[in-house]
């Protein structure tokens, strides 16, 4: 019996790359019929609170606001000594506490990591792709950028002032930076189906890695005009060994992030972390 499920992911090249084989049914689909829902990560974070989608990408930080979910081992976005960065026309972070920071969402891992590293700041939430434009217009003084803006920011003469990935690497002795994960609603799917989808997504990611050129061509539809070579660089950064399977280090990184947030008084307690296997 075919099971129709909705799967949420972001309009970004790395997510498109991961779902290339699934969306085009280039691998055995098992019993699944996938309805793709493509939305900004913060919108997906908020939809997950009410279990609106069977499977969805979320920020790892969003786990602090959710319950009754299983974390998939595949499809995660982990930086390896790199991650979200703070950019500005300013030369330093000296006056950041008295200025405004554009952020991609209060539930994003980028925001949580920044808060752990730098404390509470004056922030404005906006669509991640609008942050560089907001700096140019003067709406914000600093921008916390994710996705391809981590690679393209020099084109606008911004200064890179703080790399959360490098900071995290030093603080954790080399753990990967926990940013995005995929979760399955335990209210909408049983455990066996969740494990089956986890395997399907893992196979899709491997297929993309084995057919890099075709998968990248497909992924450019979410490139927002970015050159293919730049998108390829970005995808290779965030579709890595931890994306295929986050493994022990990926799970430890997620736990460590919440421990650090609790120690700083940002959250009251560590959220339960239930994995598909």
Per-residue pLDDT tens for 83-102?
999 999 999 999 999 999 99
Please determine whether the domains at 3-78+177-263 and 85-172 fall in the same fold group of CATH: yes
Per-residue pLDDT tens for 107-148?
999 999 999 999 999 999 999 889 999 999 999 999 999 887
Q: Which CATH class is domain 3-78+177-263?
A: alpha beta
Q: Is 216 exposed, middle or buried (0-12, 13-18, 19+ CB in 10 A)?
A: buried
- Indicate the angle between helix axes 164-172 and 247-263, nearest 10 degrees: 100
**134 annotated as a binding-site residue:** no
Residues 190-196: contacts with CB within 8 Å, 24+ apart?
191/70, 191/276, 193/3, 193/31, 194/70, 194/72, 194/276, 195/276, 195/277, 196/30, 196/31, 196/32
> Which residue numbers are catalytic?
147
State how far the Cα of 99 lies from the Cα of 107, in Å rounded to an integer: 21
Report the phi/psi class of residue 225: left, alpha or beta, with left for phi > 0 and alpha for psi in -120 to 50. left
85-172 CATH: 3.40.190.10
Decide: pTM greater than 0.85: yes
**129 annotated as a binding-site residue:** no
| Cα separation values, 233 from 1, 12, 152, Å | 40, 13, 11
Domain segments of the chain as ranges: 3-78+177-263, 85-172
């Amino acid at each position: 019996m075919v099971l129709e499920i909705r799967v949420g992911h972001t309009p970004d090249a790395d997510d498109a790359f991961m779902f290339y084989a699934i969306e085009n049914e280039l691998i055995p689909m098992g019993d699944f019929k996938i309805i793709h829902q493509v939305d900004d990560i913060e919108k997906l974070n908020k939809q997950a609170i009410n279990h609106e989608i069977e499977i969805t990408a979320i920020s790892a930080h969003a786990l602090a606001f959710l319950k009754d979910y299983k974390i998939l081992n595949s499809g995660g976005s982990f930086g390896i000594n790199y991650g979200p960065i703070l950019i500005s026309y300013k030369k330093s972070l000296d006056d950041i506490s008295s200025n405004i920071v554009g952020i991609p969402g209060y539930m994003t891992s980028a925001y949580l990591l920044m808060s752990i590293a730098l404390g509470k700041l004056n922030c404005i939430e906006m669509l991640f792709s609008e942050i560089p434009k907001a700096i140019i217009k003067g709406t914000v003084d600093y921008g916390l950028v994710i996705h391809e803006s981590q690679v393209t920011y020099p084109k606008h003469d911004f200064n890179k002032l703080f790399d959360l990935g490098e900071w995290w690497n030093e603080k954790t002795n080399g753990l990967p930076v926990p940013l995005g994960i995929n979760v399955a609603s335990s209210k909408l799917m049983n455990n066996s189906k969740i494990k089956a989808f986890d395997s399907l997504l893992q196979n899709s990611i491997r297929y993309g890695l084995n057919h890099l050129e075709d998968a990248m061509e497909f992924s450019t539809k979410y490139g927002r005009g970015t050159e293919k070579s730049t998108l390829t660089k970005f995808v290779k950064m965030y579709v890595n060994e931890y994306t295929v399977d986050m493994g022990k280090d990926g799970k430890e990184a997620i736990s460590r992030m919440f421990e650090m947030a609790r120690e700083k008084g940002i959250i009251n307690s560590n959220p339960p972390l239930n994995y598909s296997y």
